[in-house]
Structure 1
């Protein structure tokens, strides 16, 4: 069976993002949203999620480009690349470890069901972050993890290498993961610019599995991802189906 999940990341970033995500679900094809804890719009997002039971919600762990819960700021700032290099060193890892625990505790305290888990800028692909994440979730989570092979709407040599590398990581982790892993992830080459025609084309060719399409509605004057989710509804996609 082909399972589609149209996911909006960054629920909780701010009220404008929250409202765009809600519109994408109520009037568009959005299936799910990834909730950030401790951000300016988190409490508003929790209220919206509680009032919208048809929207699937998951935990969006953030370790950069955000406001931490246990420190004033990230030592590495906004850069995911810098975070990837520095987060395992000494006191930096202590911060990361505390944050993972605190953010998961904060999510659980909302009372919302956690259908899936992923991370801001995909830092759970880092082996040490992934290991800590599994330990934090143990016994308290029954959903799926974003670990799909990276797929691209337009392939070139670079995208093929990225797809092969992420596919290898997924296959390796699937051997021992206690949780279901998504099979593919679409949208890395269309950040803030997803296109209806491309999505319709690839959906028609997907094999059985859980296929995730990643969106970032922002509520900006020009919001390509929101527009695409509204268009997909017109083509018969309703909440990702």
Structure 2
């Protein structure tokens, strides 16, 4: 079915707010899911998969390997919830270096790095990332250079070595653009940024396509924790507690 930007954003935002998690911002996640969907990269399906098991809702661990290398362990938590904090830590290091390399171990939902990397591109930072995609059983290489609004994506057949490195995402952020792949390698499939841009422009013009089954599931999730309005709810249920820092 076809839905509008606002319909999809609202449904995702409500669905995540209903989880009442400590880590993760509903509006940031909603914007990222919508952008993935508009690019034809199955943002809704991936959000629905994530909503079945978001993983631990507690602080992640990280350490400085050296001046420009960082290592994070999410304990099989979702990148949708924790990646903004990863970027905050990385940007602190970029004030002292031209680039920073990030390895994120034991993480779920790697496509959800997209929203934060998109914001970095707007701010003049280039990013490239790689991870093993369990759905396609291929390694994914993602490049988003400075000022770009859509990435270059390559799916590459991989050996057993890469399969064994599942749940690891490697990311490099730089003040200089990365070289783009020139030719498709054997056993690979490259999606050019201009192809994704056309898909996004059609989404703006005609509406955003979402598979009926995925949309129905999302709507159910968005309504799951709604409560009827009463005198108490109209007055508010008390003070809002501040969220903890979601890293240690």
**TM > 0.5 fold call:** no
For the pair shown, the structure with the greater C-alpha radius of gyration is 2
TM-score where L is the length of structure 1? 0.30
TM-score where L is the length of structure 2? 0.29
Q: Going by fraction, where is strand more abundant, 1 or 2? A: 2
